Amino acid sequence: MRFVVISLLFNVYWFSAALGPPSFQWLMVAMLLGAILYDRSVMWAMAVLTPVGLIGDSLLLHTQWLAVEAEYVVMPLWLLLLWLGFCSFAWLMRDLILARALWFMAALGSFGGASSYWAGERLGVLSFPQSIWVTGAVLIGTWLVYSIVLINLMQWLQHQLDVRSAATRREP
């Protein structure tokens, strides 16, 4: 049930980014605050995981694999918020993600992540300046890398939090 509720909330979050920039950014911020209130370790996940997507998508934008209509310095605010939300969602689903084989989750992430860009393109929030087929291959490859790096960072962060929690319990 937790998986269904969190997944539905993330879809509301994703559609807020895809259909509403910038009018729904307040909803995205409110949902991020809700995720932090639900599980305070989400803040650690945002700090550790989000830079992977921000760096990668900035490169995709600046190398013209992706294009957005809005003016931005590094990337549009809605895309930054989307990465914060995605990393929060992934962190909240970490038990499910980390319990599966890395190759399976990386394959799922590569196609799922790439398809979200395709959906964003269909909704008109971004465009593909290059051929859709070549861009699709680049996005699948990019999300394969994202998935492997994010899963490994999630394992590392979970271990760090477990060690910290155990040390706190041992203190008199």
> What token pair was written down for 96?
């499910």
pTM (predicted TM-score): 0.92
Which amino acid would we find at residue 51? P
- How many angstroms separate the CA atoms of 74 and 58, rounded? 6
| pLDDT tens, residue order, the chain (172 aa) | 888 999 999 999 998 888 876 777 889 999 999 999 999 999 999 999 999 999 999 999 999 999 998 777 778 888 999 999 999 999 999 999 999 999 999 999 999 999 999 999 998 889 999 999 999 999 999 999 999 999 999 999 999 999 988 877 776 6
22, 69 in Cβ contact below 8 A? no
